[in-house]
């Protein structure tokens, strides 16, 4: 079930990922939209039940990235806008899981081959690659059949 949810989330996030190239205006979105609409800070303040100084502070805090989501949503609503909030992974979730499977499998293999090396039984490079692929496939199967895959992210430190 988690894999299916992850695939749907990946699809939706892929659409949004394409929008990332849109740059935030230098003074922030609030000020840019307010000015584009021709609304003065005084007019916006009046509609929001605030002072023009408060609007200026909110615009500056948005530009600095310190505004709260609640304040941003409130002022955006007064401008008849909506706030859209996303956390976008830098790569698709499926790729991230696959990468972590390989990291986990390699760590498991390294631990085993180190012990075998101490006993002068270290396998050949080819055998290690085969074992790695076997572990990767085993982990792939496990994450398809388990609800909790958080063990993939655990370290043996």
Spell out the domain ranges in the chain: 1-19+89-157, 21-87
Q: What is the pLDDT of residue 58?
A: 98
In this structure, the number of other CB atoms found within 10 A of the CB of residue 19 comes to 10
What pLDDT digit, counting tens, does each position of 90-138 carry? Answer: 899 999 999 999 999 999 888 877 655 555 566 778 888 899 999 999 9
Residue 82 has pLDDT above 50, yes or no: yes
Closest CA to 23 of 68, 63, 66: 63
Residue 65 has pLDDT above 80, yes or no: yes
Q: What is the pLDDT of residue 106?
A: 92
What pLDDT digit, counting tens, does each position of 130-157 carry? Answer: 999 999 999 999 888 887 888 889 886 5
Contact 41, 34 (CB under 8 A): yes
Task: Indicate the fold that domain 21-87 takes in CATH.
Answer: 434 Repressor (Amino-terminal Domain) (1.10.260)
Q: Cα-atom radius of gyration of the chain, to the nearest Å?
A: 25
Average pLDDT estimate for 56-73: 97
Q: Select the more confidently predicted residue: 88 or 55.
A: 55
Q: What is the pTM of this model?
A: 0.68
């Amino acid at each position: 079930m988690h894999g299916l949810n992850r695939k749907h989330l990946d699809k939706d996030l892929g659409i949004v990922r394409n929008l990332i190239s849109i740059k935030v205006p230098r003074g922030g979105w609030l000020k840019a939209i307010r000015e584009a609409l021709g609304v003065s800070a005084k007019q916006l303040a009046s509609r929001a039940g605030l002072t023009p100084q408060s609007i200026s502070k909110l615009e500056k805090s948005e530009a600095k990235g310190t505004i709260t989501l609640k304040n941003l949503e409130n002022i955006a609503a007064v401008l008849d806008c909506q706030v859209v909030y996303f956390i976008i992974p830098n790569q698709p979730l499926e790729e991230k899981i696959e990468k972590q499977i390989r990291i986990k499998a390699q760590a498991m293999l390294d631990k085993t081959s180190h012990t075998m090396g101490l006993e002068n039984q270290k396998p050949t490079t080819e055998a290690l690659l085969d074992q790695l692929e076997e572990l990767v496939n085993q982990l792939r199967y496990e994450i398809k059949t388990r609800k909790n895959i958080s063990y993939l992210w655990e370290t043996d430190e």
